[in-house]
């Protein structure tokens, strides 16, 4: 029966590719063995959505204490922050790692599948792996697998009740939960999520989401609840909202030093975070324009924050977290590609991640070779191009990056389908 099922099944990994059938063979058998005998979909009266999470027995995830002070944190990045990327950043030295923003309505309809071969929990939406996390084990080879580095699930939501329902259903799939209140892209704001929550008319809903999660997750299960926001039009408005967010009981708040309409290619206003730091009573995390290790102390001094969240700096070279100093970018890319292959990422997504990694050098032979690559073998050959790669980040370089232009990402079964991979 399993062979027939596998032969007729093409599993999409993160919405754009096919999951390795050999790995999934174990998952199917394990999944059937862990299913409750009466395999009936659980009807939950939230937006008429059907959830299947209650039907699977998931290993209990230990609750760990998370300190958000003096930390270097991997920021959430769409399509990049899958398990392989979170894992390698943690192994290089990141103190906390975030998932990409994941929408509550999609997660609510997911079915968790135990993958014994990879020792992961794969949250499946049909034939798509929406979220993948390691099963905690002291024998794990990775820091995230041993819980030395906490994994934070970042949630895209506009509903207090649904956010809590999803957070409880997935309680053993993360160490802390974060609410995205800063993403300005269409896929996030169209449902009242992301930066929509910062609009004056939606701020009370944002506060209620946090209050609900603090009561239902932090107080009940002992897992931290945090949020990530942007600067509002004025500092007075920003400070007022910050105080109200703090009052909900969240464990930490990250502030991206850009206004809602700003895009990554525009300079961050890091100095404005210092005014928030003066009134902060909980850990405050600064985010924006941390591109290389030399930026760490500068941004800390400017923002008066001791914790930093790093996005593109990590995407361009995930060894940025390495205390002994960042490694050669090409060597880092080779290590990342090895993990992408191990976790059966689709070649198209792997190519996308590597191209984003080298997007600051679009005129190099290496980038050209990556762009022409089809399949893992050609990606590996592209990284063998004999060429010295030097990162020079200037405003002109940032403005020229194609990957930074606005993208329409639909919340569908194939969220990355609109991006050309070849």
Reply yes or no on whether the pLDDT at 26 is more than 90: no
pLDDT at res. 416: 34
User: What global pTM score does this model have?
Assistant: 0.83
Helices (H), 151-224: 160-169, 186-189, 203-213, 219-221
Reply yes or no on whether the pLDDT at 8 is more than 80: no
* Least confident piece of the model among 10-19, 70-79, 310-319, 400-409: 10-19
pLDDT at res. 38: 27
Reply yes or no on whether the pLDDT at 209 is more than 80: yes
Residue-wise pLDDT tens digits, 334-385: 999 999 999 989 899 999 999 999 998 888 999 999 999 999 999 999 999 8
Q: Are strands 284-287 and 307-310 parallel, antiparallel or unpaired?
A: parallel
Distances in whole angstroms, Cα of residue 206 to Cα of each of 172, 197, 199? 24, 6, 9
pLDDT at res. 400: 63
Reply yes or no on whether the pLDDT at 318 is more than 60: yes
Structure tokens at 249: 């009981």
What are phi and psi for residue 150, nearest 5 degrees?
-65, 145
Residues 6+ apart with CB under 8 A from 171: 61, 217, 221, 223
Residue-wise pLDDT tens digits, 245-298: 999 999 999 999 999 998 888 899 999 999 999 999 999 999 999 999 999 999
Reply yes or no on whether the pLDDT at 224 is more than 60: yes
Q: What is the mean pLDDT of the chain?
A: 84
Distance from C-alpha of 413 to C-alpha of 207, rounded to nearest angstrom: 30
Nearest to 213 by CA among 265, 255, 178, 242: 178
| DSSP class per residue in 65-88 | ----SS-EEEPP-TTT-SHHHHHH
Residue-wise pLDDT tens digits, 156-169: 999 999 999 999 99
Residue 52 banded pLDDT, cuts 50, 70, 90: low
Instruction: Return the beta strands (E) in 126-251 as ranges.
Output: 128-134, 151-156, 176-180, 225-231
Residue-wise pLDDT tens digits, 177-201: 999 999 888 878 888 899 999 999 9
pLDDT at res. 257: 96
Residue 27 banded pLDDT, cuts 50, 70, 90: very low
pLDDT at res. 265: 83
Residues forming beta bridges with residue 252, ordered by sequence position: 226
Query: Which residues are known to be catalytic?
Result: 183
Reply yes or no on whether the pLDDT at 410 is more than 60: no
Distance from C-alpha of 293 to C-alpha of 337, rounded to nearest angstrom: 23
Residues 6+ apart with CB under 8 A from 421: 16, 348, 349, 351, 352
Residue 333 banded pLDDT, cuts 50, 70, 90: very high
Residue-wise pLDDT tens digits, 389-399: 766 676 666 66
């Amino acid at each position: 029966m399993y062979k027939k099922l596998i032969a007729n099944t093409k599993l999409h990994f993160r919405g754009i590719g096919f999951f390795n059938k050999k790995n999934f063979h174990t998952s199917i058998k394990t999944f059937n063995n862990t299913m409750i005998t009466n395999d009936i979909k659980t009807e939950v009266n939230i937006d008429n959505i059907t959830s299947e999470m209650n039907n699977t027995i998931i290993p209990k995830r230990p609750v760990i204490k998370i300190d958000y002070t003096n930390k270097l944190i991997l920021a959430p990045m769409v399509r990049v922050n899958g398990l392989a990327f979170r894992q390698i950043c943690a192994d290089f030295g990141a103190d906390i790692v975030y998932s990409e923003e994941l929408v509550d309505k999609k997660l609510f309809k997911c079915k968790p599948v135990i993958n014994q071969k990879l020792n992961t929990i794969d949250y499946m939406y049909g034939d798509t792996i929406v979220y993948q996390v390691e099963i905690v084990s002291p024998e794990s080879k990775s820091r995230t697998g041993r819980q030395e580095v906490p994994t934070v699930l970042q949630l895209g939501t506009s509903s207090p009740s649904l956010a809590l329902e999803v957070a409880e259903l997935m309680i053993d799939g993360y160490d802390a939960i974060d609410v995205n209140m800063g993403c300005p892209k269409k896929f996030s704001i169209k449902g009242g999520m992301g930066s929509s929550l910062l609009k004056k008319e939606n701020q009370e809903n944002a506060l209620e989401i946090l209050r609900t999660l603090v009561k239902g997750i932090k107080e009940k299960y002992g897992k931290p609840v945090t949020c990530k926001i942007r600067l509002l039009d004025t500092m007075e408005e920003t400070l007022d909202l910050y105080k109200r967010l703090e009052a909900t009981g969240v464990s930490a708040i990250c502030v991206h030093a850009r206004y809602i309409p700003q895009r990554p290619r525009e300079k961050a206003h890091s100095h404005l975070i210092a005014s928030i730091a003066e009134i902060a009573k909980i850990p405050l995390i600064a985010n924006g324009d941390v591109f290389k290790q030399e930026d760490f102390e500068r941004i800390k001094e400017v923002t008066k924050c001791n914790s930093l969240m790093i996005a593109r700096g990590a995407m361009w070279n995930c060894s940025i977290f390495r205390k002994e100093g960042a490694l050669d970018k090409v060597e880092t890319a080779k290590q990342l590609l090895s993990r992408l292959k191990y976790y059966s990422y689709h070649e198209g997504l792997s190519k996308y991640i590597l191209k984003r990694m080298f997007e600051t050098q679009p005129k190099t032979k290496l980038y050209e070779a990556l762009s022409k690559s089809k399949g893992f073998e050609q990606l590996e050959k592209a990284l063998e191009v004999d060429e010295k790669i030097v990162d020079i980040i200037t405003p002109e370089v940032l403005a020229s990056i194609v990957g930074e232009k606005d993208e329409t990402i639909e919340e569908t079964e194939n969220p990355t389908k609109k991006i050309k991979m070849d």
